[in-house]
Amino acid sequence: MRIRSVLLAVLIVCAFVYFVSVAGWEPGRLFRSVSDTGRLWSEPDRARGAGLSSDELNNVEIYKTANQATVNISTVVYREDWFFRVYPVEGAGSGFLIDEEGRVLTNNHVVAGRGAEIKVILADRSQYDAKILYREPENDLALLKIEPKKKLPFLRLGDSEALQVGQKVLAIGNPFGLGGTLTTGIISSLHRSVPSEDGQGMEDMVQTDAAINPGNSGGPLLDSQGNVIGINTMIVGAANVGIGFALPINQAKAVLEDYR
């Protein structure tokens, strides 16, 4: 019994010496307070970079590609006051390139107005004057054209017929003039009828909880493959409350076919 006790004591001493000299363990380390370190925060003993989840990686990859083909749109339109004096009104919105030649799809209300002067700002901050090729107020759509100095990246138009409530969506645009803003969410409902500002109802709209704010109008609503499945068009209220509406991209494709 005595020999067994001696051996146990020797093992305990050897373990203590190992942890102190070899493993770098310090007595009381587990109970060290923040004040002992001289810092006002605590942190892991060994910092390790946090890996991104598959969903986060998907968001990052889509943004890197889609943001290059999403544009900011600034406008100056002219209106008359009660005394028939003409004055300029500035506006801002979003849009996206649909081909490498510089055609831009957006909402009609983004560029509507008397004598509109339209500028398209690309992701690299280069600016171009734009002209309106075609507009359809009933669907709140407008097709613009710029004359780029090079071939441009563009977005693929997806299929809004197969959308499902609950599927992930991403919105990119220019809310409150903050270009290149990404928000994410899901499709909250489909086939919504929504009254527009001019009193005309818009049918078959896609409802989403992805944050949509003034300035997002005309920007792309994307699926998890980076395809455009809608055009962000309107919100409920003056700013985001988690209820935004996008025009299904199949309606836009039908308008584009009519234009051709």
Which of 94, 209, 217, 223 is the catalytic position?
217
At position 10, the amino acid (one-letter code) is V
pTM attached to this predicted model: 0.80
Which of 109, 160, 209, 223 is the catalytic position?
109
pLDDT tens per residue, range 105-142: 999 999 998 888 999 999 999 999 999 999 999 999 99
pLDDT tens per residue, range 56-73: 999 999 999 999 999 999
CB 169 within 8 A of CB 187: yes
Is 140 one of the annotated active-site residues of the chain? yes
- Give the up-direction half-sphere exposure of residue 229: CA atoms within 13 A in the CB hemisphere: 24
Which of 140, 188, 209, 223 is the catalytic position?
140
Query: Cα dist. 237→21, 45, 90, 244 in Å?
Result: 66, 48, 21, 10
At position 48, the amino acid (one-letter code) is R
Is 109 one of the annotated active-site residues of the chain? yes
Which residues touch 144 (CB under 8 Å, ≥6 apart)? 73, 95, 103, 104, 105, 106, 111, 118, 120, 130, 131, 132, 133
The answer on pLDDT for 174 being more than 90 is yes
